[in-house]
Structure 1
Amino acid sequence: MMSRLAAMLTELKDTSEMMIDLAYSSLLYDNTEIAEEVISLSNSLDGLSERIQDEMAKSGQSNSEEVYRAIVTVTLMDRIMDIAHAAESIADVVIRGLAEHPVLAMSIREADTTMCLAKVADDSILAGKTFGEVSLSTVSGMFVIAVRRGDDYIFGPGEETKMEAGDILIARGPEEGVSYFKDLADGTEKSLD
């Protein structure tokens, strides 16, 4: 049970870290699509948080020595959820259209990277291929930091991770790489040069 709990806590931590990156990017670039992804991630973390609490309650009931560990784990989980909710609040600013501000515009000019989301189409050259096969970061300049597959996330996909039609690729890279990256994902672009 502890390995399952450890995996859930790791997922909670990894997701909240990505949420902060996405939330700031949505704010800097006034990107509602990325902001909505943050809200979606927050909703999934709420469910994960409930499952962690249930696991800890079961552990505490079956073994009184686990009660202290359960309290520490729940406290840690609460702090991680505070981070996730802060990211959600940042994204909400973008969704409500309040992100236009001169200071943000200045910081955008200074930023050398951006983040974007791209959905892999059925006829995409990426569908059915691994990241190693297509060297996506080399050809597009965009580095995929996570893949959303249905309600699940693959954080830091490796060379052996296969992209499937319907996957949402969450990537970071130079602004000039975004268009080509999205065209590869949606099937508009048919070659990897």
Structure 2
Amino acid sequence: MADETYEVDEIVDELLNKKRGIKEIIKEMKNVSELMVDLAYSAILFNNDDLAEEVKGLEEEMNKLRLQIEISAMLAARTSEDASKLSGIIRVAAAAESISNAAEKIADTVLRDIELHPVLKEALEEAEETVQRVVVKAKSEIDGMAIKNIRDNKKYAVDILCIKRGGKWIFDPKWESKVKAKDMVIVTGFKENVEQFKDLVK
């Protein structure tokens, strides 16, 4: 119980200090749930434990965001009318978390070494695009490069969905955001382009 109280106090302080709006948190939940689904399916397709573990880690992030929404709604409600309007937002957050829970269950099949039905595996293999995680090595040619320049460079031909830096996630990074050595980036694109990108940034 003490740990839960500490977590709530910490989240309230963060909300007040950073002045994060409900709209911003909902947007982040949307981004995280979509990313979890992409990673979960890629984890199955490539039987990749690392991707599955990232899904499990992101589920913890979703739980924190759900709590932020609930606390924000309570802080924002001044009247019963406010509370009624905000209840819809909480339902949206709950729906996003349900999606993330489903993604976690998908990833769990990889971590538990549950064999897929051949029909399902064949369907996944037919997908043209993939999602992969890539760690940017020191002296990599994209170290210090802005995401826009990576996106526009035909040599790479991938999209960077998010960055994990120092244990913290940067979701929906801005075009001018720069990739740094030791960053873990989640990229998406055609399978051959993603594999080529992984080779280039080593």
* Matches for 1:95-114 after TM superposition, within 5 Å: 95-114=111-130
C-alpha change, 1:135 and 1:172, in structure 2 (3 Å) is closer
- Counterpart of 1:27 in structure 2: which amino acid? I
Partner residue in 2 for 1:74: 90
Q: Does 1:14 align with 2:69?
A: no
C-alpha change, 1:100 and 1:136, in structure 2 (3 Å) is farther
1:85-117 Cα distance to aligned partner (Å, 9 max, x none): 011111111111114432234224423222210
Deviation for aligned residue 1:27? 1.7
Q: TM-score, normalised by structure 2?
A: 0.79
Q: Does 1:47 align with 2:64?
A: yes
Q: Aligned partners of 2:122, 2:137: CA distance in 1, in Å?
A: 35
Deviation for aligned residue 1:59? 1.8
- Counterpart of 1:95 in structure 2: which amino acid? L
- Which residue, 120, 127, 137 being the options, matches 2:136? 120
Residues 117 and 169 of structure 1 are in contact (CA less than 8 Å); yes or no, is this contact kept in structure 2? yes
Q: Aligned partners of 2:41, 2:89: CA distance in 1, in Å?
A: 27
C-alpha change, 1:101 and 1:122, in structure 2 (3 Å) is same
Residues 29 and 108 of structure 1 are in contact (CA less than 8 Å); yes or no, is this contact kept in structure 2? no
Deviation for aligned residue 1:3? 6.5
Deviation for aligned residue 1:28? 2.3
* Matches for 1:54-65 after TM superposition, within 5 Å: 54-60=71-77, 62-65=78-81
1:52-96 Cα distance to aligned partner (Å, 9 max, x none): 111111222x44431112221111211111111011111111111
Residues 147 and 160 of structure 2 are in contact (CA less than 8 Å); yes or no, is this contact kept in structure 1? no
Partner residue in 2 for 1:154: 171
Deviation for aligned residue 1:137? 5.7
Deviation for aligned residue 1:158? 4.8
Q: Aligned partners of 1:30, 1:177: CA distance in 2, in Å?
A: 20
Q: Aligned partners of 2:164, 2:122: CA distance in 1, in Å?
A: 31
Q: Secondary structure at the match of 1:139?
A: coil
How many residues align? The count is 184
- Counterpart of 2:159 in structure 1: which amino acid? F
Task: Tell which deviates more after alignment, 77-86 or 30-39.
Answer: 30-39
Deviation for aligned residue 1:144? 1.9
Identity %: 30
Residues 143 and 181 of structure 2 are in contact (CA less than 8 Å); yes or no, is this contact kept in structure 1? yes
1:130-153 Cα distance to aligned partner (Å, 9 max, x none): 123344762133322222233222
Which runs of 5 or more structure 1 residues have no equivalent in the other structure?
Answer: 189-193
C-alpha change, 1:3 and 1:63, in structure 2 (3 Å) is farther
Task: Tell which deviates more after alignment, 82-91 or 121-130.
Answer: 121-130
Q: Aligned partners of 1:50, 1:122: CA distance in 2, in Å?
A: 37
- Counterpart of 2:70 in structure 1: which amino acid? Q
